Amino acid sequence: MSHTLHRRGTSESLKNDYVIFAMSAKGINEVDSKVKLKRFLEIVSSFNPVNLGDMRTGNSFIRSKEVIVNSTQDTSIVHGVFDNRETLIKAMQAIKEADLGISVIVSGLLDDVDSCCKEAGLNRHTCETSLGIWGKTERLPDEDVLRFSTMCGHGQVPFNLVIKMIEDIKAGRRTAREAAEELSKPCQCGVFNPVRAEEMLEEILCLWGVTVA
């Protein structure tokens, strides 16, 4: 199961949100896979993703791209985030040509990702989907907050931080872009999409009646 499957929002909100990542299989092709994973990051980085990361090193809002790429290990899981399908397809084609021999996953709207695979000359191998949130859902925050927090599949973007960023924007302490970048930092893997976050922040500013001291 991928930790990038649980993003919430409308199809319109999710249509320009793509995560591509790679990993080796423990006990299968893990040994010396860092060279392949590093090459994957180099390829993805060359297409200017809006976020980049390695679960062991961090994301591009807390580490430089050079540090992320050069710190790759055999046990790394490496990620890139794109905000448009054209660039994603070009990156997929380059990865296909590199023929790295490691598993590559793309997350996004199913039909759209399937179409991207076909345009990149790839046949989709497997499809995974989220079954949603089960349990005491009444304890969850507002859906607007969940749209931000679920962009980090490990739940490292706190609900209260999302609310704080909205308050800061309304008080003039941050721009929507600055708030989106701040929300990107806790997501260690680098799968948080700051462009989508900025758009969502601007969208809900007129809807939220946030009281600021």
- CATH number assigned to the domain comprising residue 33: 3.30.70
**Are residues 199 and 103 located together in one domain of the fold?**
no
**Are residues 177 and 141 located together in one domain of the fold?**
yes
Confidence at residue 121, expressed as pLDDT on a 0 to 100 scale: 96
Integer Cα distance of 116 and 95 in angstroms: 13
Q: 120, exposed or middle or buried, with CB in 10 Å at 0-12, 13-18, 19+?
A: middle
At which of 119, 146, 161 does a domain end?
119
State the residue range of the domain holding 188: 137-204
CA distances from 29 to 74, 75, 189 (A): 9, 10, 21
**Are residues 61 and 155 located together in one domain of the fold?**
no
CB-based contact 123:90 (threshold 8 Å): no
Confidence at residue 102, expressed as pLDDT on a 0 to 100 scale: 92
Task: Please report whether residue 100 resides in a domain.
Answer: yes
Integer Cα distance of 118 and 116 in angstroms: 5
H/E segment holding residue 138 = none
**Number of domains comprising the chain:** 2
**Are residues 45 and 104 located together in one domain of the fold?**
yes
Confidence at residue 212, expressed as pLDDT on a 0 to 100 scale: 42
At which of 85, 119, 153 does a domain end?
119
3-state secondary structure of 200: helix
Confidence at residue 164, expressed as pLDDT on a 0 to 100 scale: 95
Confidence at residue 209, expressed as pLDDT on a 0 to 100 scale: 60
Task: Please report whether residue 212 resides in a domain.
Answer: no
Sheet of 103-107, strand order: 58-59, 51-54, 77-82, 18-23, 103-107
**Are residues 97 and 158 located together in one domain of the fold?**
no
Q: How far is CA 45 from the centre of its chain?
A: 14
Average pLDDT for runs of 10 along the chain of length 213: 85 94 90 95 98 96 96 95 97 97 93 96 89 91 94 94 94 96 97 97 77 43
**Are residues 63 and 162 located together in one domain of the fold?**
no
Confidence at residue 130, expressed as pLDDT on a 0 to 100 scale: 86
Task: Please report whether residue 126 resides in a domain.
Answer: no
Task: Please report whether residue 46 resides in a domain.
Answer: yes
Dihedral angle at the C-alpha atoms of 153, 159, 160, 161, nearest 10 degrees? 40
**Are residues 51 and 108 located together in one domain of the fold?**
yes
**Are residues 52 and 108 located together in one domain of the fold?**
yes
Task: Please report whether residue 129 resides in a domain.
Answer: no
Task: Please report whether residue 3 resides in a domain.
Answer: no
Task: Please report whether residue 151 resides in a domain.
Answer: yes
